[in-house]
A and B are shown apart, each in its own frame.
Chain A
Amino acid sequence: MKKIIFVLIMSVCLFGCEKILTRFPEDQLTSDNFYTSLADYNKGLTGCYKTLQAIYNDNDITAYGEDMSDDTREPGFAAWSDPFKMFLKTNSNSISGIWSNDYRMIYNCNAFLDVLTKYSPKNAVETAEVKAMEGEAHFLRALAYFNLVRFYGDVPMVTKTFATPSDSYGLGRTLVAKIYSDVIIPDINLAVAQCYQKGAAPLKGQEARATSGAALYFLSKAYLQQGDYTNAQTALKKLIEDKQGGTFSLMTTYADVFDVNKKYNAESILEAGFSIASGQPSNFYAHIGVDIATVMNVRNIVTNTIMGSCNLLSDFTASGEKDRFVATVDSGKVSYAVPPLQPFRQKFAPKYADYVKYLNTKTDYNYMIARYADALLMYAECLWKAGNNAGALQYINQVRTRAKMPALSANTTIDIDLILHERRMELTFEGQRYFDLVRTGRAIAVISKFLRTKVGTDSPPANNPDIAPEQLLLPIPVSEIQKDPTLVQNPGY
């Protein structure tokens, strides 16, 4: 009897059940069943925005956009005097972060748009919210492509998610013009139509979301990058005069634009958010170098990713804009420096910073991707191009006077160099200079000259040849070409 009971007990052990084989992550949600309410979709949209932190980090777009211009140089490279030299050996030096992070944002937006279509709004408010979300996802996707075409030229066009890895091979590169006409412009137009305006009630507490104003700004920027001044002017008129994207205005004090306590201010168009308390501090400050240290014969500590060039500083000094320099760039003393007085960047940097503290904790500063002053200067450029000198001066002077500079007189003759100078002074280190030089066709001349001109103790070789036109684009990451040989490398690399 005992034996039978025992055998029965043991037999229970034999009833295995396939159920135990079905395991799903216990500390992660799955995308199949997560999205139910609009609040869930908002979290998915937040995920799309979060990629901005990776794109506008301290050593990809923000660094290389600067290093390729005549505003900064990269102290880490021995070959600093030729910023393009570092890209020559594509195997080791191609910049993949810009590529992969922008495509990551494109993927996130595509994936989000996939799930968003499954939601049916229950009322008008929800309909507006769903439309805004759709617009914002399209906007972010367009922004990513805009970054990609400006850095790499033709790129693969991806507007849906891939089911299997093999679907992703063999796409090749799509012409820049087609990326603009098929993705960037339609996406931004959708965003212009569907996003909330700046200051709209649903954006309260979520000011980082893209507005129709941000869409108009990038619409004009995209047109301008293609040399289409007419369409750019139309978009900027809607933004500045018609206030179709909501109300924007210049901050009274220049430094307030970047003030850590005045995020999403009246001048802000788009920001990437950072915060120490949330465990998402900005590294940017720690990687911006001391700019005029070399002018003052002070050796700096070479740990920065980007460093202001003497060439830039001479532009401030030569054009008598020292006041503007103080208002926009100089942040005063830095205690660690030897001697302790050392100019530092105003933007994104706390005043009288304790270097050690901020090197350890990083900072709370948001990265300003787009701001109204840039829109005004672009509008001025469009107006000048359209022959409206007075209109152009009006907007240039708005920006100048805010930066403690005297207004230009009404009879000032505007040319592209003046516009570029104003933009360089106002938007120093904000990732605009290089693309301005490229779109105005001045890049090769200006940068080549910069590479030959001795300013301060910078001593580049005087006989450096002009940079080659193909060097205006970055090489496509070699690791990508190795994975898919249909991706043809940019010429010259």
Chain B
Amino acid sequence: MKKITKDRKVPSGNFRKKCFFIMRLTLFFLITSTLSLLASGSYSQNTRVSLNLKSVSVKDALKAIENSSEFFFIYNNELIDVNRKVDITVKDQKISDILSKIFDAKDVEITVVDRKIILAPTSMGEQQQGKKVSGKVTDSKGSSLPGVSVILKGTTTGVMTDNNGSYSLSNVFENAILQFSFVGMESQEILVSGKAILNVTLTEETVGLAEVMVVGYGTIKKRDVSTSISSVSSEELKNRPLTNFAMGISGLMPGVVVQNTNSAPGGGQTITIRGVSSLNASNSPLYVVDGFAMPDGFNYLESPINSISPSDIESIEVLKDASSSAIYGTRAANGVILITTKKGKSGKPKINFSYSTGVQSSLDKVKMLSGKDFLQYMGESRDNAYILQDPNNGNDNPNAALWSRTDPTNVRIANWDKSPTSDGFHQMYLANSLFNRWISLTDTLSHSPYNTDWQNVLLRHGKIRDYQISLNGGTENVKYYMSGGYYKNDGLDQVSGYERFSLRTNLEANVTKWLKVGLTLNPTLENTSVLANSTSSNSTTNPFLATLGLPPTLSPYLSNGTPDPFDVSINSPWGWNFYGNENPLLSIKRQDKRKTIKVFSALNAEVKFMKDLIWKTDLQSQYQRWDRSYFSPSIIPQAGLGYTSPSQSAGTAQGNDRLYTSLTSVLTYMKTFKSHSLTAMVGMSVESTAYSSFGITKYDFPTDVLTTLNQAITIKSQTDVTTNKSSESMMGTFGRLMYNYSSKYYLTASVRRDASSKFGSNNRWGVFPSLSAAWRISDEKFFKPLRFIANDVKLRGGWGIVGNAGISNYLFSPSLSASTYLMGANGATASFVNSGMPNANLSWETSKESGIGADFQFLNNRIGFTIDYYYRLTDNMLYNLPLLSITGFSGTMTNIGSMRNRGFEYQLNTRNLTGEFKWSTNFNLSYNRSLVLSLSGLPTDNIIAGNNRTAVGKPLDVMYGGLFLGPYKNWEDVKTSPIMGSTTATWKTRSNPGDPKFADINGDGIIDASDQTVLGRTDPDYIFGIGNTFEYKGFDLTIHFNGWVGGLINAQNMTGLFTLGNGTQNVSQDYFDNYWRPDNTNAKYAMPSRKSFAGNIASGMAVFSATRYTIDNFVFGYTFGNKLLNKAHLGSLRMYLNIQNLYQWKVYPGYNVENTTSSASATSSQGSNTGSYPTPRTVSFGINLGL
């Protein structure tokens, strides 16, 4: 049994004690279940052993003792001679007596600790036997290297070099080996050979850090990567205290776009790699954690990756191109994100404790109108409505006199009454009608004592607390990492919240020389409280939109202190005046709680047949249970009932569970001979997932206090109670060959054959090959003259095909949907109809990607630069083809057309200052351009869905709508412009100055829906990130800056708030300051009006540039030095201040500029913003403590 532990920070000390300490701890954590703490030293005193052995080796004798007792031995067979033959015949003797017969006390020191017996050479305990060795460690330039770890090989004994690079180790044997290691330097092992002085020169590692990178089903030296992979190491993650996983890669990798689709606590993100390429199949990358594929990608409302505590993450790699991801076959079409969690490292157990606490506030409050301005706006919007009604007094004469804005109320009413096109607002003529309020600001509104800031009513400061404790360590044969965490985030509103309890155990054990097993357990519990409707696009119920739209002249409370339900019934003066926004104080009474339990467990075994041939099998299961309980109390007034009545209380219980199991088996052969290095791998994988779900909705709860469904009375519809079940499976076989010649020429080829149960037997299997090559040109002779500038240059190229099967199950199969119908007196009986048009030929969506790239290291690794270009062609796009109604169905999933994405990615890392004051910068920039090449299979050449359009020859999913040209400036402008709407062809119904003016795209003189046009792309022109890190004497400062340039965002449901006031809700200050007025005809925005504009096509009126620049991460930290730590007996200590989303500059006026409705099926939802959860700014303080 050999013990090799590397630990730079091990202070020299008594070896034996150290040894015992480690063993105890190790054993304590590993086998507490079998070796209870009850055991005491009495075992060795009381136990008697009998043996009768003739001419056996010491080793066998010890084994015999182990077999006949509970003792076990710990020794190093290089130090203890166990091959010596002995004879032992004892009967019922104490263990100490037996051992004294086997070993000479002069040679071997025996220590018995309970059932453990440690055999050590006596000499080790004796100071005078070893010699003192000392020396100095320098770098290649001769400068001394402080902090180099010097370890006696095979032990945990070691020291660090001091400030002069000197070290001194006592008690070193003649034939001992010293290991010298230092970050960034090649490690060295030197035989002492009895020398007393050993001076060592360490050389720098040739390419940066000799980091190992994770690739599909294996690892590779970072230096040897021949494909496009971006990675974030634990070192970089350290400077980014994460609230969620996506933060860990946001802005750090070119080509990777992270969008916080829902910034609510526990909310989800959308991650797209190298552009969106699928119309209706998944656009989410594949997540692989420690080699285990996760069954799902990102959910845009709740993140499935949330269950991994960010502090457990060691590194993140993103396989961006097909040549690296094709090994994952059908699930890799959108790239692969590999997450590696922390593993145990042999050596002294390390306990790390981290704690952080922070406050959150909304990054932006939207500047809406307050009191006086609001009244002015209301007055103007009513004036405008009056003017709009009939500007020409019914004459079809463009020059007829207008009704005047100065007309008093009675004139207005009289005028309106005369108007022949009064649009049926006949009620307004009646006695007690609210008509006059509608056209003039005469009601109690103007006397309102309130000036409510509704955003303050709903928003509050959020809170974050994060506790994490982890333990790692191990022996050479058993390594462990264990962690437990608790994270809690109270959101920015009074309801939202998220908490997570997580545990993780990563265990690795070398069972025998040829067998290694590993175990991972990761149970998590997440509780999420959601502000109901906060992600809804419905501007009436979404509380965030309500806070923007509610008039400041209203009070949130009734005089009795309860929330005002804004009774807009007939007799309320507000009824005719305001938009039906719900009081947010009532909205928060809805309960929407979710609970997710996830248990991830994996077992793997690795068999080493020979030195070079390893067979690894992974077995994993992931169980996930998601529950939701929702309750909507009756106190919230119901729209449609005149808001006078309480609403019908409703409760929903929902749950689904998923069991994912997979088996992966990989055989790897690695051989290096001379300059040839070869890695061959073959493997197979089988995955299967079973889903089940239920949902119940009941109505009419006797009170709003008890919300469990047993209380409710009514079930309304057959579909109110459901359970469902489904399952899917996948299977794949794959192989890969990696070859390199003296790290100069690289060639990698892989192929995977995959099948998915989502396709019918006709098209189940797909083959996904890949090829990549690289050339380290800098190692060529002819490059030598340039090497002083560029010390390492590698050219890469790759090609690959990947598949996409991210669609629903069973679409190939004809199925019946069950229901019931009332066929007569017998009541409801079962009914069946075909539920869809099956497509037996359904098959993969395939992406062929070619890419080239180059990696440069300049000026002795001070500057690193990477450039990539890719071209990805997506074929057989999975698309839910809208069917003609005559087929009986609305759509069927089909493979149609093709598109391409191509782009450049640049990454630059520089170490600007390397002395005591260190400064490093990383910069990345990328852009992607998509183009739809064909939509063959569709009868038309474009798809219009919502506000988006996908057409041949255009980028995917471009924004579509009316092109707003600003308001009509004056009558001259109206007369010379095309007519708005075909129904308003006569002058009397023509647009007015101040009305919104749209472009007449088809030039027919009439502006209508047929004039909708492409307004622009929804994806950015380019994205970039810049990070700077400064370090000085333990202090470190990191500032990261993130940019998204170009692209459009559509907030159509906020048109009334930001770009076209409707006189029924509040508007932004920006709109108020810039809308058309008779004295401001050259305005940016159209005038507000209580009456809607004739024939407007407002779909293009709330389109904004999505450009934003964000200082998304700021960390200022201090790491305590060793001197202080040693005094305090601490391993490490770091304190930091972190600000996430310190500042954002954006054009978009709302809370959150991100694309908030993006789902896995992207078509029609790109660039759409429905105004959900505000982006939080988080200021937190944290401490990391290592023991």
Q: How far is the CA of A203 from the CA of B215 in the complex (A)?
A: 69
A22-50: which residues lie under 8 A (CB-CB) from chain B? 22-32, 34, 40, 42-44, 46-50
Question: Does B883 belong to the interface (CB within 8 Å)?
Answer: yes
**B832-855 interface code vs A (CB 8 A; 1 in, 0 out):** 111101000000000000000000
Question: Does B830 belong to the interface (CB within 8 Å)?
Answer: yes
Question: Does A301 belong to the interface (CB within 8 Å)?
Answer: yes
Question: Does A118 belong to the interface (CB within 8 Å)?
Answer: no
Question: Does B888 belong to the interface (CB within 8 Å)?
Answer: yes
Contact A23 B944 (CB under 8 A): no
Q: How far is the CA of A360 from the CA of B939 in the complex (A)?
A: 43
Question: Which of B284-292, B755-763, B909-917 binds A?
Answer: B755-763
- Chain A residues near B724: list those with CB within 8 A: 27
Contact A361 B716 (CB under 8 A): yes
Question: Does B572 belong to the interface (CB within 8 Å)?
Answer: no
- Chain A residues near B889: list those with CB within 8 A: 104, 107
Contacts A2-B512, A21-B757, A103-B888 given; does A78 touch B824 at CB 8 Å:
no
Contacts A3-B514, A278-B718 given; does A21 touch B755 at CB 8 Å:
yes
**A445-459 interface code vs B (CB 8 A; 1 in, 0 out):** 000000000000111
Question: Does A80 belong to the interface (CB within 8 Å)?
Answer: yes
Question: Does A246 belong to the interface (CB within 8 Å)?
Answer: no
Contact B648 A46 (CB under 8 A): no
- Interface residue from B617, B825, B831 paired with A50 (Cβ < 8 Å): B831
Closest beta carbon of chain A to B614's beta carbon, Å:
12
Contact A207 B757 (CB under 8 A): no
Closest beta carbon of chain B to A354's beta carbon, Å:
11
Question: Which of A88-96, A232-240, A409-417, A419-427 binds B?
Answer: A88-96
Which chain B residue shows the least CB distance to A115?
B834
- Chain B residues near A209: list those with CB within 8 A: 823-824
B180-226: which residues lie under 8 A (CB-CB) from chain A? none
Between A50, A110, A366, the greatest number of chain B beta carbons within 10 A of the residue's beta carbon is seen for A50
Which chain A residue shows the least CB distance to B683?
A14
Contact A206 B422 (CB under 8 A): no
Question: Which of B134-142, B322-330, B639-647, B1047-1055 binds A?
Answer: B639-647
Contacts between the two chains (Cβ within 8 Å), count: 280
Contacts A43-B829, A209-B824 given; does A458 touch B426 at CB 8 Å:
yes
- Chain B residues near A43: list those with CB within 8 A: 829-832
Q: DSSP majority for the B interface?
A: mixed
Question: Does B126 belong to the interface (CB within 8 Å)?
Answer: no
- Chain A residues near B815: list those with CB within 8 A: 25, 28-31
Which chain A residue shows the least CB distance to B733?
A16
Contact B821 A273 (CB under 8 A): yes
Contacts A104-B885, A107-B889, A483-B940 given; does A50 touch B810 at CB 8 Å:
no
- Chain A residues near B700: list those with CB within 8 A: 360
Q: How far is the CA of A168 from the CA of B884 in the complex (A)?
A: 7
Q: How far is the CA of A10 from the CA of B608 in the complex (A)?
A: 13
Question: Does B409 belong to the interface (CB within 8 Å)?
Answer: no
Contact A29 B816 (CB under 8 A): yes
- Chain B residues near A362: list those with CB within 8 A: 716
Contacts A28-B816, A47-B833, A165-B837 given; does A274 touch B822 at CB 8 Å:
yes
A109-162: which residues lie under 8 A (CB-CB) from chain B? 110-111, 156, 158, 161-162
Contact B684 A477 (CB under 8 A): no
Question: Does B728 belong to the interface (CB within 8 Å)?
Answer: yes
- Chain A residues near B882: list those with CB within 8 A: 479, 483
Contact A482 B940 (CB under 8 A): yes
Question: Does B686 belong to the interface (CB within 8 Å)?
Answer: yes
- Chain B residues near A169: list those with CB within 8 A: 884, 939
Q: How far is the CA of A78 from the CA of B882 in the complex (A)?
A: 32
Contact A28 B642 (CB under 8 A): no
Which chain A residue shows the least CB distance to B432?
A299
- Chain B residues near A230: list those with CB within 8 A: none
Question: Does B714 belong to the interface (CB within 8 Å)?
Answer: yes
- Chain A residues near B819: list those with CB within 8 A: 47, 50
Q: How far is the CA of A360 from the CA of B638 in the complex (A)?
A: 11
Closest beta carbon of chain B to A108's beta carbon, Å:
5
Contact B982 A31 (CB under 8 A): no
- Interface residue from B686, B715, B718, B810 paired with A25 (Cβ < 8 Å): B810
- Chain B residues near A259: list those with CB within 8 A: none
B717-744: which residues lie under 8 A (CB-CB) from chain A? 717-720, 723-731
- Chain A residues near B824: list those with CB within 8 A: 203, 205-209, 264, 273
**A419-442 interface code vs B (CB 8 A; 1 in, 0 out):** 000000000000000000000000
Q: How far is the CA of A482 from the CA of B756 in the complex (A)?
A: 34
Between A32, A106, A280, A479, the greatest number of chain B beta carbons within 10 A of the residue's beta carbon is seen for A280
- Chain B residues near A96: list those with CB within 8 A: 885
- Chain A residues near B888: list those with CB within 8 A: 103-104, 106-108, 110-111, 161
- Chain B residues near A207: list those with CB within 8 A: 823-825
Closest beta carbon of chain B to A483's beta carbon, Å:
5
Contact B570 A299 (CB under 8 A): yes
Query: Interface size class for chain B?
Result: 35 or more
Contacts A28-B817, A273-B823, A480-B884 given; does A49 touch B1008 at CB 8 Å:
no
Q: How far is the CA of A299 from the CA of B723 in the complex (A)?
A: 45
**A161-179 interface code vs B (CB 8 A; 1 in, 0 out):** 1100110110100000000
Question: Does B404 belong to the interface (CB within 8 Å)?
Answer: no
- Interface residue from A7, A31, A46, A205 paired with B814 (Cβ < 8 Å): A31
Q: How far is the CA of A31 from the CA of B836 in the complex (A)?
A: 11
Contacts A23-B757, A171-B886, A278-B828 given; does A18 touch B1008 at CB 8 Å:
no
Contacts A480-B884, A484-B939, A485-B939 given; does A32 touch B814 at CB 8 Å:
yes
Question: Does B1010 belong to the interface (CB within 8 Å)?
Answer: yes
- Interface residue from A34, A51, A171, A280 paired with B718 (Cβ < 8 Å): A280
Closest beta carbon of chain A to B603's beta carbon, Å:
12
Question: Does B75 belong to the interface (CB within 8 Å)?
Answer: no
- Chain B residues near A273: list those with CB within 8 A: 821-824
Closest beta carbon of chain A to B510's beta carbon, Å:
14
Q: How far is the CA of A30 from the CA of B570 in the complex (A)?
A: 53
Question: Does B32 belong to the interface (CB within 8 Å)?
Answer: no
Which chain A residue shows the least CB distance to B417?
A459
B757-782: which residues lie under 8 A (CB-CB) from chain A? 757, 761, 764
- Chain B residues near A294: list those with CB within 8 A: 426
Q: How far is the CA of A281 from the CA of B729 in the complex (A)?
A: 40
Question: Does A13 belong to the interface (CB within 8 Å)?
Answer: yes
Q: How far is the CA of A138 from the CA of B1144 in the complex (A)?
A: 65
Contact B714 A361 (CB under 8 A): yes
Contacts A85-B983, A209-B824, A273-B821 given; does A16 touch B686 at CB 8 Å:
yes
Contacts A108-B888, A461-B420 given; does A10 touch B665 at CB 8 Å:
yes
Contact B837 A278 (CB under 8 A): no
Between B715, B728, B888, the greatest number of chain A beta carbons within 10 A of the residue's beta carbon is seen for B888
- Interface residue from B423, B430, B729, B833 paired with A23 (Cβ < 8 Å): B729
Question: Does B408 belong to the interface (CB within 8 Å)?
Answer: no
8 of the cross-chain contacts (CB-CB < 8 Å) are: A10-B665, A46-B830, A49-B821, A165-B884, A168-B884, A168-B887, A294-B426, A461-B420
Q: Which residues of B contact A (CB under 8 A)?
A: 420-427, 429-431, 512, 514-515, 570, 605, 607, 615, 617, 619, 640-642, 645, 648, 663, 665, 684, 686, 688, 699-700, 714-720, 723-731, 755-757, 761, 764, 809-810, 813-835, 837, 881-890, 892, 894, 937, 939-940, 944, 981-983, 1008-1010, 1095
Q: Which residues of A contact B (CB under 8 A)?
A: 2-3, 6-7, 10, 13-14, 16, 18, 20-32, 34, 40, 42-44, 46-51, 53, 78-81, 85, 88-89, 91-92, 96, 99-100, 103-104, 106-108, 110-111, 156, 158, 161-162, 165-166, 168-169, 171, 203-209, 263-264, 273-281, 294, 297, 299, 301, 303, 338, 356, 359-362, 366, 457-459, 461, 463, 477, 479-480, 482-485
Task: Identify 16 new A-B residue pairs, CB closer than 8 A, beyond the known A27-B723, A299-B570.
Answer: A10-B605, A21-B730, A21-B731, A26-B727, A31-B816, A158-B886, A166-B937, A168-B884, A208-B824, A280-B822, A301-B640, A360-B714, A459-B426, A477-B885, A480-B884, A483-B883
